[in-house]
């Protein structure tokens, strides 16, 4: 049987289930990664499982989100993460070492392996032929405990690349073009697998940009072949021994094919406030720009920043704006510094930010009121930047650098000679900012600061959900809408405090209303829960008594997180029934038998409407137990 790349990796890691699209499967996970905004909770959950040491080939704890250290909360969390890593056999990446996805690609990613990470942009490592999947922290904790990861067998979409990118057109434009065609919900239940002669023209950092932003499609993940280009990258990282060739078989089948001629793509921008609202730069020319940020896990590689620096060399940042540069890793930062490239950026007036996520999640470098901000990051959701009124556009580093000089959108093809930057034959390798765990960490004392609260656990599900509609929201509600990040990131390890900010940017009265109702149901539109993998968007509502979410459709990771925390996720069988429920309505759902169609009763209005779900048998058992942690503790994974 001819297999595609996705099927080959899944077949090698299949614990149970069949490789039939949409069927439940369980996969062995070789590697895990966490970042500090999600990791603290993930490790509290892992600790609660009672497993003495991680059972993966490799688990890495990165600190790259909560690095502002405005008070004791972040540094206390960092000490907790460092000590718990030492105790349980986890590699610890210290603050300043860089963004998890960029660093993992550089130092740990391996073709043909599986990776699950508590960050939605974990698919970045698909750029070197990994099956890398973003998930909630509890799923990652279970994987560290040696449990398989449960998902539906994805459909595999072949993206057939032909041609070659023209000067001033970048990998960022490739994924924006795909987003323009597919939309932010077009990839739900799918893996995007890249093939065709155009693949050979893309470097690993370019491939990683595409797989990183594949998360915005709602996809399970994205993957490139592991070929000669992959080998060159790993050799330059001193890791050629990690390389294997991994290609699709001739005659491999796909659910559908997208044909994309790289030579016909033009410079693009994602316009406010969604990554799929894409326009050509040529249509945005002369729109004045107030801020530019080059960096984030999407476009912060050595080649990305070197191109930007060559554009900026000998120029001065326009007086109407501020330019921030956030290198993706310490490796990138050191190479830029050693080669004098960093000096060119500083001379141009750029502000050098930490090698961390920072501005992408609203943690520093926020735009001014009503600003037009150009960013090379992956999301431009409303308010995500830290400024409610900001208009954020997503662009390539090249477009961003030119805008920083000109003070406005400028079609780069009219600008000057394109700055060709070759991949280095050898990267600077310095792993001293990793702390590798001792062989036996049983004597390590875990340090817990006062901001680390007890882990909330839900009781078993009752036979009937009886609760009021506590909020009603529209389409494309993101996890940023549900649980804002930015200034609240230090509260991620303190659910009682963080829960006070649920839906704060959507409805400031939500918290008070939820507390007064004690039990609630959330009503939503299409693609509810898209965006970040942050499990707090399920965990905090659970803490406030949310029993169910009823919407038109769910994003993949959030749906799994709801199950993990014992919240019933169902969709309207008839989408028009969404209009028959208002905030405050008393609702009932009989859940004695979760198999098949359920009936939602609007007691207030005397209406009954069918609701459905996509839960597998294991999901139903987990829900009834009160969530995955309650279920696992009863099963005793130790």
- What is the distance between the alpha carbons of residues 33 and 123, in angstroms, rounded to a whole number? 11
Out of 104, 110, 375, 379, the active site residue is: 379
| From 118, 226, 532, 533, active-site residue | 532
Pull the structure tokens for residue 333: 């930062």
121 catalytic? Reply is no
221 closest CA partner among 229, 213, 209: 213
Q: Are 3 and 130 in contact (CB under 8 A)?
A: no
Buried b (16+ CB within 10 A) or exposed e, 595-617: eeebebbbeeeeeebebebebbe
Backbone angles phi, psi at 85, to 5 degrees: -65, -45
Of these residues, 13, 384, 534, 628, which one is catalytic? 534
Among residues 30, 119, 139, 242, the one annotated as catalytic is 119
Both tokens assigned to 443: 């004597």
22 backbone φψ class: left, alpha, beta (φ>0; ψ -120 to 50)? left
Q: Which residues contact 497 (CB under 8 A, 6 or more apart)?
A: 453, 491
| β-pair type (268-270, 278-280) | antiparallel
Task: Verify whether residue 120 is a known catalytic residue.
Answer: no
| Contact status, residue 281 vs residue 399, Cβ threshold 8 Å | yes
78 assigned to active site: no
Single out the catalytic residue among 30, 64, 139, 411. Answer: 64
Instruction: Choose the catalytic residue: 13, 30, 36, 65.
Output: 65
CB 334 within 8 A of CB 433: no
What's the token pair of residue 554? Answer: 């769910």
Q: For residues 298 and 296, what is the distance between their CA atoms, to the nearest angstrom? A: 5
Whether residue 579 lies in the annotated active site: no
351 is catalytic: no
Active site residue 119: yes
Residues 6+ away with beta carbon under 8 Å from 396: 170, 171, 172, 173, 267, 299, 376
Q: Is 470 helix (H, G, I), strand (E, B) or coil?
A: strand
Catalytic residue annotation:
64-65, 119, 379, 532, 534
């Amino acid at each position: 049987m001819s297999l595609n790349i996705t099927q080959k990796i899944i077949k090698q890691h299949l614990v149970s289930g069949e490789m039939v699209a949409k069927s439940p499967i369980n996969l062995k996970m070789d590697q895990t990664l966490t970042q500090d905004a999600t990791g603290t909770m993930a490790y509290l959950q892992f600790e609660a499982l009672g497993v003495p040491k991680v059972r993966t080939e490799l688990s890495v704890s990165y600190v790259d989100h909560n690095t502002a250290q405005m008070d004791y909360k972040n540094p206390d969390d960092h000490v907790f993460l460092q000590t718990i890593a030492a105790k349980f056999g986890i590699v610890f990446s210290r603050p300043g070492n860089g963004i998890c996805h960029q660093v993992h690609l550089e130092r740990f990613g391996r073709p043909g392996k599986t990776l699950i990470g508590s960050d939605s942009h974990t698919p970045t490592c698909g750029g070197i032929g990994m099956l890398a999947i973003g998930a909630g922290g509890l799923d990652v904790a279970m994987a560290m405990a040696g449990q398989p990861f449960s998902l539906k067998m994805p459909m595999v979409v072949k993206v057939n690349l032909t041609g070659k990118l023209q000067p001033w057109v970048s990998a960022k434009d490739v994924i924006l073009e795909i987003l323009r065609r597919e939309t932010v919900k077009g990839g739900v239940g799918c893996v995007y697998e890249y093939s065709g002669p155009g693949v050979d023209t893309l470097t690993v950092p370019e491939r990683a940009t595409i797989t990183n932003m594949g998360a915005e499609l709602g996809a399970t993940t994205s993957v490139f072949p592991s070929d000669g280009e992959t080998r060159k990258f790993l050799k330059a990282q001193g890791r050629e021994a990690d390389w294997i060739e991994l290609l699709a078989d001739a005659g491999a089948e796909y659910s559908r094919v997208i044909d994309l001629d790289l030579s016909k793509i033009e410079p693009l921008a994602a316009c406010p406030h969604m990554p799929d609202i894409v326009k050509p730069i040529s249509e945005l020319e002369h729109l004045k720009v107030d801020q530019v940020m080059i960096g984030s896990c999407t476009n912060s590689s050595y080649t990305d920043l070197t191109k930007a620096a060559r554009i900026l060399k000998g120029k001065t940042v326009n007086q109407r704006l501020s330019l921030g540069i956030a290198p993706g890793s310490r490796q990138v930062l050191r190479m830029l510094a050693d080669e004098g490239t960093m000096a060119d950026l500083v001379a141009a007036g750029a502000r050098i930010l930490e090698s961390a996520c920072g501005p992408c999640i609203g943690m520093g470098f926020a735009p001014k009121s009503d600003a037009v901000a150009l960013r090379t990051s992956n999301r431009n959701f409303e308010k995500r930047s830290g400024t409610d009124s900001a208009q954020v556009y997503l662009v390539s580093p090249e477009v961003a650098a030119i805008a920083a000089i000109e003070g406005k959108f400028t079609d780069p093809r009219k600008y000057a000679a394109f700055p060709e930057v070759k991949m280095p034959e050898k990267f600077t390798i310095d792993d001293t900012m990793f702390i590798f765990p001792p062989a036996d960490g049983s004597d390590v004392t875990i340090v817990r600061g006062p901001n680390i609260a007890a882990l909330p656990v839900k009781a078993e599900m009752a036979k009937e959900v009886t609760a009021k509609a506590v909020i009603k929201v529209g389409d494309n509600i993101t996890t940023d809408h549900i649980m804002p990040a930015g200034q609240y990131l230090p509260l991620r390890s303190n659910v009682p405090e963080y829960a006070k900010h649920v839906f704060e940017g959507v409805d400031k009265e939500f918290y008070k209303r939820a507390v007064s109702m004690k039990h609630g149901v959330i009503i939503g539109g299409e693609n509810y829960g898209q965006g970040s993998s942050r499990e707090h968007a399920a965990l905090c509502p659970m803490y406030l008594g949310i029993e169910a979410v009823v919407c038109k459709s769910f994003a993949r990771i959030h749906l799994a997180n709801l199950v993990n925390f014992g919240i019933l996720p169902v969709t309207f069988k008839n989408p028009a029934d969404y209009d028959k429920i208002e905030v405050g309505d008393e609702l009932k759902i009989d859940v004695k038998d979760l198999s098949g169609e359920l009936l939602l009763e609007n007691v207030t209005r005397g209406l009954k409407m069918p609701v459905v779900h996509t839960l597998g048998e294991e999901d139903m058992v987990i829900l009834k137990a009160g969530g995955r942690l309650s279920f696992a503790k009863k099963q005793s994974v130790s």
